[in-house]
Amino acid sequence: MRGMLAVLKSDVDDILRSKGFLIIAIILGVVTIGAAVGINIPLSRWLNHGLPWNKAKPLLELFMGLAVNYMPLIVLYTFMATWATDPIAREKARGTLESLLATPLTAKAVWMGKSLAIFLPAYIISILSTLVVVLAMNFASILPATGHFVLPLPTAVTGFLFLPLLMFALISLGVLVSFITNPVIGQTIIIFIGVVLLNLVGQVGGRIIWLLPSWDYAFYNLAGAALLGTVALRISSSLTKEKIVLSSKGRWAQ
């Protein structure tokens, strides 16, 4: 456990110090402010029509469902798609991963430490971005017009917990595949499954959009996380240091 934390701490230090992280964080900051402003303009105009609360409520919840699902998804996906497995490619090439594995750390601890290190900074930014948008929508438009604070519980649980969990399962799968094959393959898996997820949420006009603020939708995310997590755990049961070391050289090396 402590060994895994050592990996986590060192890698998070690295990520926070890298220029790539800073650039993406700045871009996402701009996107967040843009989203907060952009969503408030039609929202306040629409609220000015003075719909009764019982009519407005489902629509506002749908709005909120969209925001609280899209923000974390966009933030997490941006980080994952740009460089989730890049640190692993570098560690394999430089031999730092092999040295790590020669310590008493287990291969699983290294895997978890690295997966968490990639996930946590992105997760924290996703929470902040989403909170900014949620608070902006409520305080700038919804509260003044209706006197209610709108954030359905299933939506909050999905956006802040289950969806990130799904993304973490995807990252850990991508990292695992990067460990035992070429990291490019791990990255491809992350991008591919990520695109499928983006499209599922983006089924605007389809039936699924009405599900967004519901518990059903929350549990779809949880089920997705469980599915990917199970796949990752199944593969990880055959994770050995030998596989990681041999895949760093020869056949799988870049």
* Binding region for ligand ADP (CB under 6 A): 246, 249-250
E strands, 99-142, where? none
Among 33, 209, 236, 241, binds another protein (CB under 8 A): 241
- Smallest distance, Å, CB 92 to ligand ADP? 14
Only one of the segments 25-33, 48-56, 137-145, 237-245 lies at the binding site for another protein (rule: CB under 8 A); that segment is 237-245
Q: Is 80:228 a contact under the CB 8 Å cutoff? A: no
Amino acid, res. 251: R
Q: Which residues contact 108 (CB under 8 A, 6 or more apart)?
A: 236, 239
Residue selected from 102, 153, 196, 227 as contacting another protein according to rule CB under 8 A:
102
Q: Does 86 bind another protein (CB under 8 A)?
A: no
Token pair for residue 204?
A: 């605007």
Taking the least distance from each CB to another protein, the nearer of 2 and 49 is 2
Say if CB 225 and CB 170 are below 8 A apart: no
Which listed range, 70-78, 136-144, 200-208, 235-243, lies at the site for another protein (CB under 8 A)? 235-243
Pick 84 or 92: Cβ nearer another protein: 92
Burial of residue 102, with CB atoms counted within 10 A of its CB: 0-12 exposed, 13-18 middle, 19 or more buried: exposed
Vertex 227: Cα angle to 223 and 232 (nearest 5): 145
Token output for 137: 């929508």
Q: 142, 43 in Cβ contact below 8 A?
A: yes
Minimum CB–partner distance for residue 233 and another protein (Å): 19
Q: In whole angstroms, how close is the CB of 251 to ligand ADP at the nearest point?
A: 8
Place of tokens 């030998």: 242
List the single partner that 103 binds among another protein, ligand ADP, none, CB under 5 to 8 Å by kind: another protein
Summarize as ranges the residues that interact with another protein (CB under 8 A): 2-3, 5-7, 9-10, 13-14, 17, 94-96, 98-106, 240-242, 245-246
